Amino acid sequence: MVNLVISTIAAFWIVTIALISVQNASLVNLRFVFWKSIDLPWGLVLAGAVALGFIIGGCLPLLGNNSTPAKRR
């Protein structure tokens, strides 16, 4: 059941990114302090942001303190 929910959420994001990418085909550039990127399609920037969010979200549970197992009663 968990795999179904995760797959549904991932599929929703993929379809959303595809729709937004088709509707907004203009180029954007990213600026951060003194760094400026080349012109990138808006859909590629959105897909990269979502992918980075999935990666960070997937790594967050690994950062938790699981050194002591939970006691069962």
For the entire predicted model, the pTM comes to: 0.59
Question: So what's the pLDDT on residue 59?
Answer: 85
CA nearest neighbour of 16 among 27, 6, 24, 4: 24
The domain tally of the chain equals 1
Coil vs helix vs strand at 37:
coil
Backbone dihedral angles phi then psi of residue 49, each to the nearest 5 degrees? -65, -40
Is 3 contained in some domain? no
How far is Cα 26 from Cα 28, in angstroms, rounded to an integer? 7
Is 44 contained in some domain? yes
User: Which residue range(s) make up the domain with 47?
Assistant: 26-60
Question: So what's the pLDDT on residue 67?
Answer: 61
pLDDT per position as a tens digit, 10-66: 888 888 878 877 787 788 888 878 888 888 888 788 878 878 888 888 888 888 766
Is 30 contained in some domain? yes
